[in-house]
Structure 1
Amino acid sequence: MGKNILIVCGDFVEDYELMVPFQALQAMGFGVDAVCPDKKAGDVVATAIHDFEGHQTYTEKPGHNFALNADFDSVDAGQYDGLLVPGGRAPEYLRLNKAVLDLVRAFDSAGKPVAAICHGPQLLAAAGVLKGHKVSAYPACAPEVGLAGGEYADIPLDAALTDGNLVTAPAWPAHPAWLKQFVALLEK
């Protein structure tokens, strides 16, 4: 395929939402770089596993350490064909980083595919790229989607939604639909 994907993550990113896309997209032939502000290739981010066990919200358990394979400081959006933003707790603090927000805006303004899942749309909301888009996210993020000018889509946990260049989903059970829709945009 010859296309390259950038994943922006941070400590306590959701384990499945980082590791599964990272490996699956590589298996499909994409080049995939995972970066985190203030960290270099070879550094690790701690992950957390969010599970749905019948409580009012997800439970959180320790995940794995994930080794980054690229340096955030050397990232150039022009060298990538798409951006992927996993969920977990990382987006809540990554959205405070101006360089991360500028990176998200660069992908969006170029019309490149942007995939965000679970709490990932928090980052898109902070970057100001949701206005006029129908967007899914973990249900607790619905107010932020609306406040950012997006229309929150309450879809099943295993579904995904494409609107323009954005592909969003509520949580990791949507990986098959979410990744399929993201790859379809990348192949256009």
Structure 2
Amino acid sequence: MGKIICFISEDFADFEITLAFHKIRNIGKREVLSMGYNVETVVSESGLYYKPNVTINEAMELSDIEGLIIPGGPIRNQRKELTDFIIKLDQEGKMLAAICNGPQYLGRAGILHTCKFTTSCSIESINKLKVEDPFPRENYIDKRVVRERHVITAKGRAFVDFSFEIFHYLGVYQNADEERELFHDIMNR
């Protein structure tokens, strides 16, 4: 089994990805690595401290990467090395999954110009921030989760749906009944 990389940066929304990574690691038996611009500790939106396992440049050299997951967080600038990493994974047909404001990074890398997507970041929010809109709005779909080819995007409130779309894409659950039962248990409690 391969590696699933998670890009983390200051104030990232850790709650949006914990279910996904818990099951990817424990049921899907994938290696999970956090990645940052450097290996300095970052503080998540919830106040927890996280230290990246690898830098983006180190991740570029890794083999057996199955995908990248990008949690939400503030709208912020994007460094070239992250753009290059996303483009590399896209060209290799690896899973690119981003939630809430996380799709901003896929947008700036040009990935969302060729597929449908969703995000929690409205045009009104972008206008208030007075920053360039990273999203090709003509490809936006107002749905909880959108998957096209190897690209999965979701609104922040849909973190359970997002997780299950990732599970389905990666084949984490060999038994479809077990996956449905877990989804039902989580959503109906």
| TM-score normalized with structure 2 length | 0.76
1:45 aligns with 2:42: yes
The code of the aligned residue for 1:151 comes to: N
**Unaligned 5+ residue runs, structure 2?**
127-132, 173-189
| Alignment CA distance shift 1:99-1:139 (3 Å) | closer
The code of the aligned residue for 1:7 comes to: C
Match of 1:21 in 2: 20
| Partner Cα separation in structure 2 for residue 179 and residue 35 of structure 1 | 19
Alpha-carbon contact 2:56-2:82 (below 8 Å) kept: no
Deviations 1:122-152 (A, max 9, x none): 10111011113110101426853225xx511
**Within 5 A, what are the aligned runs for 1:71-90?**
71-76=55-60, 78-89=63-74
| Partner Cα separation in structure 1 for residue 69 and residue 59 of structure 2 | 14
1:92 aligns with 2:89: no
**Within 5 A, what are the aligned runs for 1:46-125?**
46-49=43-46, 63-76=47-60, 78-89=63-74, 92-93=76-77, 95=78, 97-125=79-107
| Partner Cα separation in structure 1 for residue 2 and residue 164 of structure 2 | 15
| Partner Cα separation in structure 2 for residue 17 and residue 45 of structure 1 | 16
| TM-score normalized with structure 1 length | 0.76
Alpha-carbon contact 1:135-1:151 (below 8 Å) kept: yes
| Partner Cα separation in structure 2 for residue 183 and residue 108 of structure 1 | 19
Q: How many aligned positions are there?
A: 162
Match of 1:9 in 2: 8
More strand by share: 1
Match of 1:33 in 2: 33
Task: Report the CA distance between 1:71 and its aligned residue.
Answer: 3.7
RMSD: 2.2
